[in-house]
Structure 1
Amino acid sequence: MPRKLSARHDRFALHTPFRIARGVKTAADVVTVEISDGAATGRGEGVPYPRYGESIESALAEIAAVRAALEAGAGRHEIIGLMRPGAARNAVDCALWDLEAKLAGKTVAALIGTPEPGPVATALTVVIDTPDEMARAAAAIADVPLIKVKVDASDPATAIRAVRQAAPDTALIVDPNESWDEALVRATMPVLVECKVDTLEQPCPAENDGWLAGYDSPVPICADESLHTVAELDAVAARYGAVNIKLDKTGGLTTALELAKAARAHGLKLMSGCMVCSSLGIAPALHIARQADWADLDGPTWLADDRAGGTRTEHGIMQPPTEGFWG
């Protein structure tokens, strides 16, 4: 039976505004792809990101452009040549993984040849607010293994110190989302050392990070917006000590696995990251998280209602989705 492809826009309201240096989000807008051959249906999700020139409309148009090829049987490796890296290809790639696993009667982990994903310690995010409010938010989750602190260029040192005082024993990631410049990185670095920050994530705009190649940072600096695919890895490895692998940047699990392997070969630390998304976007990322130094997969924890059967997170430990949810 010929395949059938469907793609749609789904929206998930957030229970709390998600505020970062780039703006405020009150809902997660995702593209959901389903590919069916009559015997089974594979599902995938992508989150188009305006920072990368993506929108729901552009992602749906990208998927529509390859409909004929997908319905004719194009697989994961074929779509790499048909679609650009990004959210649209991620949704398609993950749907193909899910379909492939179901048709083979195996799990995605078995297809990859790795252990099944288990519980993972994920960062929980403290978003930008007043230092007092950020301290309150951090105190409420001070028992979790890892906190990500969102900051901007407006007195980040005070915010970081407030969170550290409220959560004295928790590992910290600080994420300015490209809002700093070189001078602010250098000025804030003593505070990061003082507060025992594990990693500083993408402090400067990707187009202005060349100076990092000559900077001996006492705190590992992690590339996010500066790294999408293996093609950028040589330049990134000269500037950063870690990389954040998001399936919405790599264009799916297939190329994310390749990037993780290549990054390790370069001696880089790994973070498994996500956009604000549902558990359908997280389930494939767990295959990167199991080999990462840090997991930042709390996207579904911001949703007022997640997809049925999705991940569950308690005290910073994320449990995989229920059997049959994905992969």
Structure 2
Amino acid sequence: MELRFELKQLHLKETFSIAYGNYNKRDALLIELSHQNCNGFGECVAIDYYQIDFQSFVLKLKEIKPKIEVQKIIHPKDFFKFLLNLNLHPFLLSALDCAYWDLFGKLENKSFIELNQIPSENSVESSITISVASVEDQIKKIEKSGWNKFKVKCKSLNKNDVERLLKLNRNIALDSNASFTDEDCIWLQKNTEVQKFSYLEQPRPIDNYHVLKKESFANWMADEDCQNIDSLDELVPYYKSINIKLMKCGGLTPALEMIKKARELNYKIMIGCMTESTVGISAGCALTGLVDYADLDGANLISNDYATGNFVENGKIILSQKPGLGIELK
């Protein structure tokens, strides 16, 4: 097996504004694993509020390259156990795990969905993200859009804006990226109208969730609070829903385990994404038959997508039906 990697840059179609800051581009790291003329692809991106350092990732890849390249082709779940011994950051672990699932499926001539017996009929629709802006501009974007589901970013709580969004009678979620106060959360979860929002994501900074009440009118969804399977038990009294992102939890293999446990704990589940190319989005799309919500618009927000595979069109998840994750570079 051969390992190759390349630093890329993703350019956004327009400035992406969230509570953490404004972005016009994202750095990406493309991973390629090859064997017998088959190539598998995975990806991670540099997110500043996760303190991602690609230079350390590149040094790590150079260090582990010989160990990976002497590996025989084994089942992806066994390959993941091997990866766990390499002391990898979850983002890098995810890129390697996804690349190996893509490669393994191509070698077996079976899709990830076939290999894991995932239902592929009636997948949930993805939302599209509406950046932080005036509520007037946000409403205009919603009304012009061909999508049916929207995740509206906000920086702090404006009650009038909330009321205006609720009056639209559209499928809207709120994502404050941890910018709400305890008082904001108390007001929201006591407000009967708030149950019209499909969910309210990561209202408070990490580990500041004790004000949240799971049995309130708000469908609180954990994002940064829910990093991996170990988070799930602790969050049960506070969150109805969780956002699983492959880069956070370490890839497709741990995501499958996380989904299984989250179901046992009666969470609603979303597969989410960062700003990613179709390489990353293809992996997320493969799990949509197992979840309640999807937020997989990352590749739709960039102007220089460098891959094809599973994709999202006006919210509809389109599965390629090809082996592995169906990823090919353009």
TM-score by length of 1: 0.90
Letter in 1 for 2:243: N
Preserved contact between residue 45 and residue 276 of structure 2 (Cα < 8 Å): yes
Q: CA deviation at 1:117?
A: 7.2
1:135-170 alpha-carbon deviations (Å, 9 max, x no partner):
1111112x53311010011x43333333344x42x2
Counterparts in 2 of 1:70-109, with a 5 A limit? 70-73=68-71, 75-84=79-88, 86-109=90-113
- Equivalent of residue 12 in structure 1, options 10, 13, 21: 10
Preserved contact between residue 272 and residue 296 of structure 2 (Cα < 8 Å): yes
Counterpart for residue 282 of structure 1: 281
Preserved contact between residue 124 and residue 292 of structure 2 (Cα < 8 Å): no
Preserved contact between residue 46 and residue 88 of structure 1 (Cα < 8 Å): yes
Preserved contact between residue 35 and residue 43 of structure 1 (Cα < 8 Å): yes
Give yes or no for the alignment of 1:149 onto 2:149.
no
Counterpart for residue 140 of structure 2: 136
Aligned partners of 1:150, 1:234: CA distance in 2, in Å?
A: 27
- Structure 2 CA distance for partners of 1:239 and 1:21, relative to 1, 3 Å: same
Q: CA deviation at 1:116?
A: 4.4
Letter in 1 for 2:327: W
Q: CA deviation at 1:312?
A: 4.7
Q: Secondary structure at the match of 1:290?
A: helix
Give yes or no for the alignment of 1:36 onto 2:34.
yes
Aligned partners of 1:194, 1:208: CA distance in 2, in Å?
A: 21
Query: Cα RMSD (Å) of the superposition?
Result: 2.3
Counterpart for residue 21 of structure 1: 19
Counterpart for residue 269 of structure 1: 268
1:163-201 alpha-carbon deviations (Å, 9 max, x no partner):
344x42x21111001111211111344567257111111
Q: Which moved more, 1:214-223 or 1:99-108?
A: 214-223
Preserved contact between residue 2 and residue 35 of structure 2 (Cα < 8 Å): yes
- Equivalent of residue 160 in structure 1, options 156, 159, 162: 162
Aligned partners of 1:160, 1:312: CA distance in 2, in Å?
A: 31
Q: Secondary structure at the match of 1:93?
A: helix
Counterpart for residue 253 of structure 1: 252
- Structure 2 CA distance for partners of 1:121 and 1:10, relative to 1, 3 Å: same
Counterpart for residue 76 of structure 2: none
Aligned partners of 1:110, 1:310: CA distance in 2, in Å?
A: 16
Preserved contact between residue 123 and residue 288 of structure 2 (Cα < 8 Å): no
Give the unaligned 5+ runs of structure 1: none
TM-score by length of 2: 0.89
Letter in 1 for 2:81: H
Counterparts in 2 of 1:118-267, with a 5 A limit? 120-141=124-145, 144-153=147-156, 155-165=157-167, 167-168=168-169, 170-189=170-189, 193-194=193-194, 196-212=196-212, 216-267=215-266
Letter in 1 for 2:112: V
Preserved contact between residue 171 and residue 198 of structure 1 (Cα < 8 Å): yes
Letter in 2 for 1:126: I
- Structure 2 CA distance for partners of 1:228 and 1:78, relative to 1, 3 Å: same
Aligned-pair identity in percent equals: 27
- Structure 2 CA distance for partners of 1:145 and 1:272, relative to 1, 3 Å: same
Letter in 2 for 1:128: V
Aligned length: 320
Q: CA deviation at 1:295?
A: 0.4
- Structure 2 CA distance for partners of 1:172 and 1:22, relative to 1, 3 Å: same
Q: Which moved more, 1:79-88 or 1:238-247?
A: 79-88
Counterpart for residue 75 of structure 2: none
1:95-134 alpha-carbon deviations (Å, 9 max, x no partner):
1101111122222122212244776411011111012111
Preserved contact between residue 202 and residue 223 of structure 1 (Cα < 8 Å): yes
- Structure 2 CA distance for partners of 1:65 and 1:311, relative to 1, 3 Å: same
Letter in 1 for 2:110: K
- Structure 2 CA distance for partners of 1:9 and 1:117, relative to 1, 3 Å: farther
Preserved contact between residue 149 and residue 172 of structure 2 (Cα < 8 Å): yes
Q: Secondary structure at the match of 1:82?
A: coil
Letter in 1 for 2:165: V
Q: CA deviation at 1:310?
A: 4.0
Preserved contact between residue 271 and residue 284 of structure 2 (Cα < 8 Å): yes
Q: Which moved more, 1:216-225 or 1:67-76?
A: 67-76
